[in-house]
Amino acid sequence: MADPFIVYDDRENGTNKFYAYGTTGQVQAAGFYAYESTNLTDWENPKVVFRRDPNGGTWCNRDLWAPEVIYDEETNLYYMFYSARWGSVNNYLIDNYGSYYDRYYSFYASVAVCEEPNGTFYEYEGPSKTALEPLIIFEDHADEIPSYLASTCIGKEGKQGFIKVIDASPFVDPVTGKKYLYLIADVDTPYTTNGFVIGMEMEDWTTPKYETLTKLTEFGKTTVGGSTNITEGQRTNEGCSVYYHDGNYYLTFSTYIYSNTNYQVRQAIASSPLGNYTKIQPSDGGVVIKTNDDLISQSAGHSSFLQLGDELYIVYHSFYNDVDVEDGRRPALDKAVFVDNGSGLMVLKTNGPTTTPQLKPEILTGYKNIAEGAVVSVSEGDGSTYLNDGFLPLFDEGFEYISENGKVTITIDLPKASEVRGLMIYNSKNANYRFNSIESIVLSNLNKNYEYGNLIYDSSEYSRNNKDALDAALILNTYKKGITTISITFNENSHIAIPEIVVIGK
């Protein structure tokens, strides 16, 4: 399943389950499945929740892609936004540029509705829309769209002003409560030689405000209409989502294409939902998640957000076989964090792509990483603040504590006496700086010290495809109460680096 999106049903009388949607070949991309889970690990009970009508009762013809679902408390409905093809085979028109293209390959975006996240969604029908037409038809509103975004392309019904769009993503601004819809103006029409992100305000989830349509990104440039170049791949800005954090709006999008091992998620930042957005250079921390040859998992793109309490996660897809797209794509999930890029700008990062066991969200277990609120000190070495910043840097350089002689004691003073269920001491992604063992871990409360000695790091435990897992941690399982201090002692023969220490507790 590609283009994954996850909804958590936390309504007052909800199921408290997770539901995953995505683009799937199981129904020939003629509809969408919903899988359900109680733990984000085991997914079951796949159910077709939306499908085109083979008898022509819906507008969409084929290639239904990238569903995103949002719950609206005012209407008590779930809204599923998606894109698909509208038209008939061999129906050609000549456009104003003098080239031919098949209207059958003209993508439009629309919305389906349902009262439950795993119920049967039906194409929205309203006062000005039937099931036989999509929600977003730019050519029908060409006189409302800002002139700089005017298109001369011809749409399905023969009207000028068509914009080919995919990857519709809804967003509610937590500051104003206003609704927005973001889309990708996709490649391969005269209007879209390169793909870019557009967005507009919605009066409600079925009423676009076309006059607010705004171009938010420009391929290969840091700003729309700007002169500063940024390296991107294969004409692509796609798979967009928006998240608000501490006064800024973070627009994520993917570049290169899904079949490329370099498929990755980038970010642009603005002070309002419709910009102006500025892309962050990769050298300044602009990559949200990507892979490289050293990582087991290859390709990481088309992301969406999942907010669980105070924790933020990114849902994305990678290769099912970890190597190439031949066997299809699979969904993945990793924690997202905000870190200082070294110039005072908070950028969005992902602790991934991971292929080893990771700490589950607090809402599932009642436990979280309590090291993030602790005071950490070291007997020697540099970069101790990285040990509990919550960030696991798998493709970024730096962000690791380094001990040059490998003989060090790390002390973690917890903010209060806590119940500790375990520790995860992550090893360096750099093979020359990995530790082999931990001499001792001591958990202390007011009455007693609990010591664990000679803990061995097994680099082969999670290896795959002749590669070590760079996201692996040495895991200590325990259950001690009233812990105030944790001491971790290394006695290596050469330098070591540690990117992160997680203390599982409450």
What is the CATH number for 159?
Answer: 2.115.10.20
In a domain, 202, yes or no: yes
Phi, psi of 199 (to 5 degrees): -150, 155
Domain that holds residue 249: 53-365
In 3D space, the residue among 448, 446, 428, 447 whose CA is nearest the CA of residue 490 turns out to be 428
| Pair (63, 95) in one structural domain | yes
Domain count of the fold of the chain: 2
Same domain for 268 and 235: yes
Specify if 471 maps to a domain.
yes
Please state the φ and ψ torsions of residue 139, each to the nearest 5 degrees: -65, -20
**Which pLDDT belongs to residue 51?**
95
Which pLDDT score is estimated for 205? 98
Q: Which residues of the chain have pLDDT under 50?
A: 89-101, 103-104
Domain contains 240: yes
Element spanning 364, H or E? helix 362-365
Q: Does residue 353 lie within any of the structural domains?
A: yes
Q: Quote the CA–CA distance of 100 and 287 in Å, as a whole number.
A: 37
Q: Is residue 127 included in any domain, yes or no?
A: yes
What does the pLDDT read at residue 102? 53
Does 324 lie in the same domain as 378? no
339/375 same-domain check? no
496: which 2 tokens? 């070591």
User: Which of 332, 365, 398 is the C-terminal boundary of a domain?
Assistant: 365
In a domain, 498, yes or no: yes
Residues 311 and 405 in one domain: no
Task: Determine the pLDDT at residue 95.
Answer: 46
Whether residues 163 and 115 share a domain: the answer is yes
411 shares a domain with 498: yes
Q: What is the pLDDT of residue 105?
A: 53
What pLDDT does 21 receive? 98
Question: Hey, what are 107's tokens?
Answer: 């993508």
Same domain flag for 118 and 206: yes
Same domain as 395, residue 298: no
324 shares its domain with 236 = yes
Q: What is the residue-wise DSSP string for 201-235?
A: EEEETTEE-GGG-EE--BTTBSSTT---B----TT
Given this model, what pLDDT does residue 87 score? 72
Last residue of a domain, one of 365, 398, 414: 365
Question: With contact defined as beta carbons under 8 Å apart, do 321 and 299 qualify?
Answer: no
**Domain annotation covers residue 479:** yes
Q: Are strands 311-319 and 329-340 parallel, antiparallel or unpaired?
A: antiparallel
User: Six-digit token pair at 6?
Assistant: 């996850």
Q: Is the pTM of this model over 0.85?
A: yes
CATH number, domain of 436, equals 2.60.120.260
> Hey, what are 208's tokens?
């676009």
The token duo for 82 is 């998606």
| Same structural domain, 345 and 390 | no
Does residue 17 form part of some domain?
A: no
CA distance 79 to 112: 6
The pLDDT assigned to 62 comes to: 85
Report whether 253 contacts 182 (CB < 8 A): no
303 and 415 share a domain? Answer: no
Domain endpoint, select from 343, 365, 387: 365
pLDDT at res. 88: 54
